[in-house]
Amino acid sequence: MQWEPWSFESAPGFVLRGWRTVPRGLPVIHFVHGNGYCGRVYSPFLEALVPHYDLFLSDVQGHGDSDLGPRFLGWHGNARVTMQVWTHFAEDYAHVPVIGMGHSFGGILTLLMASENPSLFDRLVLLDPVMFPPAMLGVMRFTETLGLYKRNQLAQRARQRGRIWPHRAAAWDYFHQRGIFRGWDDRALTAYIDHALKPTQDGQLTLKCPPEREAEIFSSCPAGLWKAVRRLQTTTDILYGEGTYPFVPRGVAHAKRRNPHIHAEVVPGHHCFMQEFPEDTANTLEHLLAGHSTTSA
């Protein structure tokens, strides 16, 4: 398959970058990654979709090859600049169905984009979006205001993560079957090392997304999430792993009650189930988009 890079100077003044398959007139999937990753980290899963879909991978600020930017724009700010990118390139896909898809942080950005502009996507597929229940989000916003939420466990782990490895084998040993990478298909971890790491001037490897930026995202929250959920007009399918974070099923159930456009299904795996079971997830997605359900939640 053939990937081509794209770049776009955002309104705040930094350059966003990503990848897309050469447009072939097929339905297109606009994909936004999770925190600390980038689009091509999901290559085994996404490439299984290529026979039936064109792909457009959008890397947010500080991820992949996108510029870090002078400051983190927040969830809504990143949703807006990602929307600017897609609006710029959308004319290349003017006559085909457009599916907005995202994982985790990227799933929420995709929801915010669609809520802000209902004409942006014909359908949404959100993969284990971090759908914080209202009470949890309220606590997060309060502690964020006080500067305390930056001490949460995910943010602290991000800051403490290793960031320099002498070679690929050392990076592989560091990540393989550890933490969030536990259960990942080896091809998915290879894609992570290929696309989320970069060489240093002295020939070592380091993270493309600085741990400080990853922690910054983990230390923040999407204010106005539930207003966006209520306002959403696009048919939305949520897939989440049976072993995901405990708050996700609660948040998804609340979203379904708030908006009849939202449907949900449980799939095997954890928060990164598409990295654990790439082909199975692609098959589930194709059946879902064809109108067939799997296991309702």
What is the DSSP track for 194-255? HHSEEE-TTS-EEESS-HHHHHHHHT---TTHHHHHHH--S-EEEEEETTS-THHHHHHHHH
pLDDT of residue 88: 98
Phi and psi (nearest 5°) for 16? -100, 145
pLDDT digits (tens, 9 = 90+) for 170-185: 999 999 999 999 999 9
3-state DSSP of 184-198: CCHHHHHHHHHHCEE
Phi and psi (nearest 5°) for 186? -60, -30
Q: Which SS3 state, helix, strand or coil, does residue 127 take?
A: strand
How do the domains of the chain map onto residue ranges? 3-150+224-289
3-150+224-289 has which fold? Rossmann fold (3.40.50)
Report residue 35 as tokens.
Answer: 């925190």
Residue whose token pair is 């890397």: 59
Question: What stretches in the chain show pLDDT beneath 50?
Answer: 146, 148-149, 294
